[in-house]
Structure 1
């Protein structure tokens, strides 16, 4: 099955770079028109096919767990005698670092509080609304996220490391397309994956930089502006580009370790000083609620406008990230069994995210009561400052405030590392060790795109980019559903 010509093919690089540059150019020249067009397309997709996003992710969930607990679960992502490349802790830290970026920090306080104030059902500001808000947050950042990533990661890891195919998204369709994966159909799949990845990372870079700028203004009074945000983006770009060029075993691993240990330190601190008993009570209740209502909440369409704005939006956003996160987790999981891969990747990071949200959200609820609604007021005024307002109501703010900025940077850099590495793989014909020049190009390109859009159109331009990326997730969602069948077809031919 292996194709030696894959590493020589640069067509995906040239076509995807051209399309991306054209989109950026139009967004800069015609920002209002591009914003309106992107919003219209996304509105059409979410209002008419919101059910499909929810149903597809549910299909992914059934698929990955049925495979994991079947006889195919003992098959390795690699040859039968292959050993894992990374230790368990290194593996976990890179799984979490690659899959969860700045969004976890950005929304850890803001989202639970927003659902608490305006729940999809019932009255806001009540105890019931608080528990419902935490359950919704668990649903948005829990198992569903990682199931989406696992579908891509499982397909890519299996076909690349066990069947010897190139490290390309199109390789997952070999059972259906055969050698046509090297032709126009396969190239179209890979280009779609690259497009979604570029703009998904660019918008996350912009959101992360915006939160850092808001933090600098809130903590030290440094006025936030497009110029300040651009400087922050340039600094973060330099950091993650350097880390990516250094490779998986050097700076990328160091960034992942810093992110995990700093995340744990913040969780312990907030847990101890933010109301330990209150946090444990809300975590216990929300976890039980989440597990009990898992299937019903996975497919709930009771408030269509709210569902489109939150669960559907999140599913689409994660699908837009699925190509690069799936490729990255496959890359660091070589030598693991399918059962080990599925259970570890879906349960460990999801569990970490739920604990994280319970601690941050629980502390925010507790401190909001103690401060007569200060956290709610901050979220209403500017939700990008909600984390800093929460920390201000805790001890040692002079220390935790600057550390929170470092955490935001590390959270984004961890995801950007993996995205840049995978972009280099996808645009070098599947080279597992892409050249440093190509890694440098993609790192600088992502930062440059974001800076240009910020300087020309401000945060509104980033919104257009984000909307376009999520809209691009719709065809990729269909690709992933077909991918499920392709995995089953290939596994059925295994002699186990």
Structure 2
């Protein structure tokens, strides 16, 4: 690019790419040493600052709800006469697909079983442990997740569409930094966001491909070798890259629609054949317990070791994703009011997630009893097979198993689409419609990086990247706390 903005955007592109490549090279050729270093940093942060992760999420929740129900809730994320760019259904499918997908499928059966067998309090393997397990899963995939995404998305949408600033994470700090957002401080914020996004997508691609490879082996006996996993990654990369290049209104929307309809069909099938009444009873009880104990669960630290391994880990993981998910949901929410944005971006995806978890988790518990503990055994042996073992207890297994793999691909593609689009925005000076060449570059780059990691460093290298991205969430959490003040400062100057 020849203009000043272009040169500045190139700085973010080149520096973030160089840092990522350097870290990846070390992860490939010094896997053990990098793994130890990343684990040591993450352990230090979660052990000594776990309380701050929990408190920060509490602040995000209070900020979002306070703004939504205040007089500022009717302010448009855009000009006063702007209309929404997408229909309500399109908006919802892209909201859900951009921020939650692969992890919901990956853990919807495995995590309830893990907590059931080893609860943080009480005895495992009891009816009480089952109810507690579902409550804990709701806590990990519930409102806390979406308030993290929403506070980031609110700041970005407000300053970009209301104030006309570039579509960059650094734009959210204009009330605090002024024109310095265009300088080294602002660029550092954007580079950190790019860094976290690259590694977040790479680790998710690794997790998703491993679950598909495990399914190929479990269903058809095709060995889940690193080479086969690399082939799966390559296919998934082609799909989400082509979708991202096509743009928000074409294949990206189609992927989101496919994902939501496959998800609904899957839930209906498991609901009908996996013990509907049991699932309904479990959903009702778990929802009540979740609502009753929401504040306590937000700040619960009675079992430090367990809290560090699960809630704090999840909070850090979602904060690591907040940069790209927040930017993505901001991009698709132009023309909505602040109140509409906050309430829709939190409660609707959460409601869908809770129904999903109750159906999948409830069916797993019910079918585990009927199968003599087959699902517990699968989780103990290899939790990537838990979904297929569960489906095996139901009719039409040879049809539902391949459809489950297709759902995993669509779910990952939804998240990868949004991440790739946002990476292109962040590295093009905040262009709302970045070039197809740049979108293609980031799509291919993310897939290639993951393939190299799998082939050379194996799952250990993927785990190192995941640990590094979560450790990078700590400084970004501090950035998000500053976002809360920046939002308040800017809104207080609005004449409403």
State the TM-score bracket (shorter-chain normalisation): over 0.9
Residues 83-123 of structure 1: CA distance to partner in whole angstroms, max 9, x if unpaired?
A: 00000000000000000131111001000011000000000
Native 8 Å contact 1:64 1:151 kept in 2:
yes
Native 8 Å contact 2:143 2:347 kept in 1:
yes
Q: How does 1:93-492 map to 2 (within 5 A)?
A: 93-492=93-492
TM-superposed deviation, 1:5: 3.0
Residues 427-454 of structure 1: CA distance to partner in whole angstroms, max 9, x if unpaired?
A: 0000000001100110000001111110
* Whole-angstrom CA distance in 1 between matches of 2:460 and 2:30: 12
- The residue number in structure 1 matching 2:57 is 57
Native 8 Å contact 2:29 2:457 kept in 1:
no
Q: Report the 3-state secondary structure (helix = DSSP H, G, I; strand = E; otherwise coil) of the residue aligned with 1:243.
A: helix
* Whole-angstrom CA distance in 1 between matches of 2:267 and 2:423: 32
* Whole-angstrom CA distance in 1 between matches of 2:415 and 2:6: 26
Residues 272-328 of structure 1: CA distance to partner in whole angstroms, max 9, x if unpaired?
A: 100011000000000000000000000000100000000000000000000000000
Q: Closer, same or farther in 2 for the Cα pair 1:283/1:97, shift >3 Å?
A: same
Native 8 Å contact 1:259 1:411 kept in 2:
yes
| Matched residues, number | 494
Q: Closer, same or farther in 2 for the Cα pair 1:366/1:7, shift >3 Å?
A: farther
* Whole-angstrom CA distance in 1 between matches of 2:29 and 2:346: 42
* Whole-angstrom CA distance in 1 between matches of 2:19 and 2:7: 22
Q: Which ranges in structure 2 are unaligned for 5 or more consecutive residues?
A: none
* Whole-angstrom CA distance in 1 between matches of 2:7 and 2:145: 31
Q: Report the 3-state secondary structure (helix = DSSP H, G, I; strand = E; otherwise coil) of the residue aligned with 1:310.
A: helix
Native 8 Å contact 1:55 1:299 kept in 2:
yes
* Whole-angstrom CA distance in 1 between matches of 2:257 and 2:384: 25
Native 8 Å contact 2:196 2:320 kept in 1:
yes
* Whole-angstrom CA distance in 2 between matches of 1:79 and 1:167: 16
* Whole-angstrom CA distance in 2 between matches of 1:4 and 1:416: 30
Native 8 Å contact 1:6 1:430 kept in 2:
no
Q: Which ranges in structure 1 are unaligned for 5 or more consecutive residues?
A: none
- The residue number in structure 1 matching 2:28 is 28
With the length of structure 1 as denominator, give the TM-score of the two structures: 0.99
Q: Report the 3-state secondary structure (helix = DSSP H, G, I; strand = E; otherwise coil) of the residue aligned with 1:468.
A: helix
Q: Please, which moves more after superposition, 24-33 or 404-413?
A: 24-33
* Whole-angstrom CA distance in 2 between matches of 1:10 and 1:67: 35
Native 8 Å contact 1:7 1:428 kept in 2:
no
Q: Report the 3-state secondary structure (helix = DSSP H, G, I; strand = E; otherwise coil) of the residue aligned with 2:248.
A: coil
Q: Please, which moves more after superposition, 173-182 or 372-381?
A: 372-381
- The residue number in structure 1 matching 2:5 is 5
Residues 454-477 of structure 1: CA distance to partner in whole angstroms, max 9, x if unpaired?
A: 001110110000000000000000
Q: Closer, same or farther in 2 for the Cα pair 1:202/1:331, shift >3 Å?
A: same
TM-superposed deviation, 1:398: 1.2
Residues 248-285 of structure 1: CA distance to partner in whole angstroms, max 9, x if unpaired?
A: 00000000000000000000100010001100000000
Native 8 Å contact 1:139 1:290 kept in 2:
yes
Residues 6-51 of structure 1: CA distance to partner in whole angstroms, max 9, x if unpaired?
A: 6863110010000000001111121110010000000100110111
* Whole-angstrom CA distance in 1 between matches of 2:262 and 2:73: 34
After superposition, the CA RMSD in angstroms is 1.0
* Whole-angstrom CA distance in 2 between matches of 1:364 and 1:101: 19
* Whole-angstrom CA distance in 2 between matches of 1:196 and 1:164: 25
Q: Report the 3-state secondary structure (helix = DSSP H, G, I; strand = E; otherwise coil) of the residue aligned with 2:72.
A: helix
Matched, 1:43 2:47: no
- The residue number in structure 2 matching 1:87 is 87
Residues 51-106 of structure 1: CA distance to partner in whole angstroms, max 9, x if unpaired?
A: 11111001000000000000000001000000000000000000000001311110
* Whole-angstrom CA distance in 1 between matches of 2:464 and 2:4: 39
Native 8 Å contact 1:7 1:430 kept in 2:
no
Residues 345-387 of structure 1: CA distance to partner in whole angstroms, max 9, x if unpaired?
A: 0000011111100000000000011111111111111110000
* Whole-angstrom CA distance in 1 between matches of 2:142 and 2:330: 20
* Whole-angstrom CA distance in 1 between matches of 2:284 and 2:274: 16
* Whole-angstrom CA distance in 1 between matches of 2:7 and 2:211: 39
Q: Closer, same or farther in 2 for the Cα pair 1:341/1:7, shift >3 Å?
A: farther
